[in-house]
Structure 1
């Protein structure tokens, strides 16, 4: 089941206080970006945050699940979706710890 636009709009409203969060539709689901860093996925109307040690410490009792079959487990966030301050702090900690994205190779010209 694909995520719906209402759910992604709700998540973006909760976490976009800085104005630096964007999303991209990917195969009916969504990738969430802070500037250019992919930090979360929204799949089946559920929020999955990339795992980091700072995020694990902040959350405490972590629930991990793969966002889609075959994916590595991520932090599944369900009971704190209404708490914008908590979500923003988790995202700040996560983004700080995530590495910068690798540059994409340039296409060879013909």
Structure 2
């Protein structure tokens, strides 16, 4: 099962107070970006937040689960918490602030 487009639309609408929020589809699932940092994954219509100490403090006692088979553990945020726009926005903002900037990509070599 893959994530429905309606799920991503709902989440990005809930997070619309953040100026730099976007999603990117990957292998039938989605990555959520904030300030060009991957802050979460949405897999099988479930939200998985990248783990940070700041995120743990914000959530309290997060439920940890793999986002997909073989992945490391992420903080799973249940659908009922998605309804609280302010709380969800705060969690994503806190997580983004705690994550390092992505490493610049190396330029591709031209094909010979």
Is TM > 0.5 for Structure 1 vs Structure 2? yes
C-alpha RMSD of the superposition: 1.0
TM-score (norm 1): 0.95
Q: Structure 2: which 5+ runs fail to align? A: none
Consecutive unaligned residues of structure 1, counting only runs of 5 or more, are none
- The match for 1:88 is 89
Matches within 5 A, 1:21-60: 21-60=21-60
- The farther-off stretch of 53-62 and 17-26 is 17-26
Summarize deviations over 1:2-46 as a string: whole Å, max 9, x none: 000111111111112123100011011001111311100000000
**4+ residue runs over 4 A deviation:** none
Q: Which residue of 1 aligns with 2:9?
A: 9
Determine the C-alpha separation between the residues in 2 that align with 1:25 and 1:35. Answer: 17
Give me the whole-angstrom Cα distance separating, in 2, the residues matched to 1:35 and 1:97. Answer: 12
